[in-house]
Structure 1
Amino acid sequence: MRSILFTLPFFVLIFSNSIEAQEKILSKEEAIDLVLENNLGIQVARNTKRIDDNNASILNSGYLPTVSANGGGSIDVQNTEGELASGETRRADGAETRRYNASIDVNYTLFDGLNRYYTYKSFKERSQQSELEVRQTIETTILQLFTVYYEVARLTENTKNLEEALQISKDRLTRAQYQFEYGQNTGLDVLNAEVDINTDSINLLNSRQQLRNTMRDLNLVMNQGLDTQFIADTTVVFVPGLQMENMHNEAKTNNIQLQLAEKDISISRYNQKATKSVFLPTIGLTGTYGWNESNNNSPLAFLLQNTSTGYTGTVNLTWNLFDGGSGITNIKNVKIGYENQELIKKQIELEVERDIRNAWDSYTNALYVLEVQEKNLQTNQNNFKRTDERYKLGQITSIEFRQAQLNLLNAELAQSQAKYSAKLAELQMLQISGQLLNVDF
């Protein structure tokens, strides 16, 4: 039984050393760089931005003319018979006529009721909106990154604390064995120490397993190899000087949801103006430069070969006086859509105000909890130090020592949890206020 009890912590120690030897420190800045470069969601958003930029270019505006080249040829074989003025009758069998033509056509819309003007404006707004969507994706991904990154950091600290707890239990077992050998205690203290070692070893193994799983989650966000090992930076620095009023004002101006809603309103406004082009005429210009040639070997033909070149210009006007009412219906529907976008923006404004107030309360509450947990940790550290001294002097039992050890461990875990919870609450508040990408992490 004793050999089994000692095998587990020995395995934990060997496994820990092999893992640590393969790990490297991954700083927050390096993690951000990897996400911005490799994250698949960000890449998709950037590609969507490229598509919208293409749509907003002059080549898709309708302001440029269309140019087309046309060419053709035909062969006509006919049996003909005709009577000349002199009364002579002539007949041509298999008379062949060859015709060739080529032309370049240019079409340009001079005026289309301002439809292309407002459509082009709409494409420009959509391109700017797409840029905001890239920023939104980056913000969301960065917050996701640090949610996982700080979880890795928390589990790293937890693992370290559990390793220290295991070492304390090992030292306690060694002391209990010496005392048992010299008849200073019973074998019960030795057995209790062995049970506590097994408990601490299992807790340590579970913590390491959680750490490895969370590392894989982080590698997935950074689009890295899932088995890449690293050490997270456990340093947490809070942004100084944050104030509720400033956060509220920043949210009204820089919140990404509000900015996207404003772009939706602008796009709807341009669409509404573009639909009114149905009431105005369309004026177009058409130009053609062509070449034609005809060859005829019939003796009855007036001309055996005819060649012509020249150009033609045409101005046309089209005015759809009544389209059955579909244009009017479309204008009404677009107007309703514009009104909906304004209502949606008002709803988002209310939600953002609620979110920033909730985020501020969560942030301040998390800072207070962190302060309390740090004081609690200091108290438990002092208590364990005194308990350890008294245990060495034989003034308290092993059960009392174990309770002080567990109190210290729980205080360490709670302080670590409070620290990272407060930092995540701060990041969430910065995201709502639109300042997430403007601060140091």
Structure 2
Amino acid sequence: MNVIRIFIFFCLFTATPVAYAQETLTLEEAIDLALTNNQEITIQRKQTDIVRNNVYRGNAGLLPTISLIGNGSYSSGNTEVTLRTFAQSPEAPSQITVDEDNVVTEQASAVVQADYVIFAGFSGQYRYRLLEHSATISRYQQEILVNNTVLSVAELFLEIAKLQRREELLRETIEISEERLAKVNDQFAFGKATGLDILRAETNLDQDQTALDNVSLAKNNLLKDLNFLIGQPAESNYTVTAVYQLPDVVSLDSLKQQVLQSNPERKLQAESLMAAQDQRKLTQANRYPQLRAFANYGYQWQRNDVQQLAELQNVGYTAGVSLRYNLYRGGQTRRNLQNDQLAIEAEEVRLQQVRERLVNQAIKEYSTLEYLQTQLAREEKNLDTFTESFCRMQERYYNGKATSLDIRDTQMALLNANITVSDIQAEIIQSFMRLENLRGGLFTTEH
């Protein structure tokens, strides 16, 4: 059974649905759609089913084979048969020769035969274990693919949420710029503002609108990428919405232990090492003799125009055993064993390499998460300062004690501070999900 384990986060930059949206999509819904519709996942699942379907004892040669064998033949030709008479007198011929034309020979048989390998150096057991290794490896490959797909969906989802939040902030900024333009026009009508003031206010409004257009274009492009991952039409449009609770982050030592224990890439490499070890045992089985048993029951019929037995019929069974032992195979087994040992050593190095790389990635991501959390606390304080500064400057502006340039500067500073806080919050969630991916916590497979 496949178990999806999505950790819930608390998203401070929650994007609320707006009037122009056709529908909303949550992160859980996006992941469910990806798990259902993503083509790469669908292909991998079918491949995993194929490999799993191959794991049975008969495919490893551990079960007897039963065959129905039938044949028949007809021949006609010139036949010369010389028979010894074993005569004791010199007058009698010692041989008799029969030479006939158009001699007909007919044969037919039908047999049910069973064959079974009694012993072959336990090669059947090793073949079966290799089939199990293949199924496990395919399952881990599927787990890795699903993990990466879930992570890609989440990261795209959060990038869209960041841009969606920027759209909201820019719309608020445009409203402020429009209000300021209207005020400048009123001041111009009473001679308290110049045409340059109006031009600056219009330019600021155009800049805000251009920024909004650029953000909307980037968001719509990411929506198309997300639609591809979750199997939706490219033109599907929606807003993303999420309210998640961020769980506590484990200690670094605990994180490293979980990565080494549960990461599917590490488990896949460990399974590959065990498969290489069993492959060597299978090769070593060639050094043992093979003992086979067979039994059959059937009917045989033969007729020949020139033989002493004009017609022969037989109904019955036959049973026996055969022993085969290769005394010399040109050194193939020895060379194959050497290659298998080299393959084992290579897999051991790969396993160590994967372990070190995963731990290194976990340490780096853990440090990134700590830095982002510290940065968020600092930027939230800055946001409070910029918010208070903007409110005061706006009041001074409407009281005629500040210029449009002053209010514009504080407005853009507040906008950038909001964007920075929103981006850091999203990056914290993305970093945490990458940690969960390293821990193997986004997707697990249970039997």
| TM score, norm. by length of structure 1 | 0.87
Structure 1 residue 35 displacement after superposition: 0.9
Structure 1 residue 80 displacement after superposition: 8.4
**Equivalent-residue separation in structure 2 for 1:77 and 1:39 (angstroms):** 66
2:128 aligned with 1:120? yes
Correspondences of 1:2-401 after superposition (within 5 Å): 21=20, 23-77=22-76, 96-294=104-302, 305-401=311-407
Q: Aligned AA for 1:239?
A: P
Residue number in structure 1 paired with 2:7: none
- Unmatched runs of 5 consecutive residues or more in structure 2: 1-17, 86-97
C-alpha spacing 1:106/1:420, structure 2 compared with 1 (3 Å): same
**Equivalent-residue separation in structure 2 for 1:138 and 1:50 (angstroms):** 15
- Judge conservation of contact 2:27–2:242 (CA < 8 Å) in 1: no
3-state DSSP class of the match of 1:110? strand
Q: Aligned AA for 2:373?
A: L
3-state DSSP class of the match of 1:227? coil
**Equivalent-residue separation in structure 1 for 2:221 and 2:19 (angstroms):** 16
Residue number in structure 2 paired with 1:11: none
Moved more, 339-348 or 420-429: 339-348
Residue number in structure 2 paired with 1:430: 436
Structure 1 residue 281 displacement after superposition: 0.2
Percentage of pairs with the same residue: 27
C-alpha spacing 1:301/1:48, structure 2 compared with 1 (3 Å): closer
3-state DSSP class of the match of 1:225? coil
C-alpha spacing 1:79/1:419, structure 2 compared with 1 (3 Å): closer
**Equivalent-residue separation in structure 1 for 2:80 and 2:391 (angstroms):** 128
Residue number in structure 2 paired with 1:411: 417
Moved more, 381-390 or 99-108: 99-108
Structure 1 residue 126 displacement after superposition: 2.1
- Judge conservation of contact 2:165–2:422 (CA < 8 Å) in 1: yes
C-alpha spacing 1:185/1:274, structure 2 compared with 1 (3 Å): same
3-state DSSP class of the match of 1:197? helix
**CA-to-aligned-CA distance 1:372-424 (integer Å, 9 cap, x gap):** 22222222111111111111111100000110111011111111111111111
C-alpha spacing 1:328/1:77, structure 2 compared with 1 (3 Å): closer
**CA-to-aligned-CA distance 1:217-250 (integer Å, 9 cap, x gap):** 1111112111111111154532225322321221
Q: Aligned AA for 1:39?
A: N
Residue number in structure 1 paired with 2:90: none
Structure 1 residue 358 displacement after superposition: 1.1
C-alpha spacing 1:433/1:80, structure 2 compared with 1 (3 Å): closer
**Equivalent-residue separation in structure 2 for 1:207 and 1:102 (angstroms):** 79
C-alpha spacing 1:125/1:94, structure 2 compared with 1 (3 Å): closer
Q: Aligned AA for 1:327?
A: T
Structure 1 residue 288 displacement after superposition: 2.2
**CA-to-aligned-CA distance 1:85-126 (integer Å, 9 cap, x gap):** 9xxxx9998665543221222221111111121121122122
Q: Aligned AA for 1:48?
A: Q
- Judge conservation of contact 2:140–2:265 (CA < 8 Å) in 1: no
- Unmatched runs of 5 consecutive residues or more in structure 1: 1-18
**Equivalent-residue separation in structure 1 for 2:282 and 2:99 (angstroms):** 64
- Judge conservation of contact 2:21–2:239 (CA < 8 Å) in 1: no
**CA-to-aligned-CA distance 1:146-169 (integer Å, 9 cap, x gap):** 111101100000011111111111
Q: Aligned AA for 2:29?
A: E
**Equivalent-residue separation in structure 1 for 2:100 and 2:225 (angstroms):** 89
3-state DSSP class of the match of 2:114? strand
**Equivalent-residue separation in structure 2 for 1:236 and 1:403 (angstroms):** 34
| RMSD, matched Cα | 2.5
**Equivalent-residue separation in structure 1 for 2:164 and 2:151 (angstroms):** 20
- Judge conservation of contact 2:181–2:202 (CA < 8 Å) in 1: yes
**Equivalent-residue separation in structure 1 for 2:73 and 2:359 (angstroms):** 74
3-state DSSP class of the match of 2:62? coil
3-state DSSP class of the match of 1:159? helix
Higher share of residues assigned helix: 1
C-alpha spacing 1:262/1:301, structure 2 compared with 1 (3 Å): closer
**CA-to-aligned-CA distance 1:306-351 (integer Å, 9 cap, x gap):** 4321111120000001211111111111112112222222222222
C-alpha spacing 1:76/1:261, structure 2 compared with 1 (3 Å): closer
Structure 1 residue 78 displacement after superposition: 5.8
**Equivalent-residue separation in structure 2 for 1:53 and 1:435 (angstroms):** 24
**Equivalent-residue separation in structure 2 for 1:189 and 1:385 (angstroms):** 21
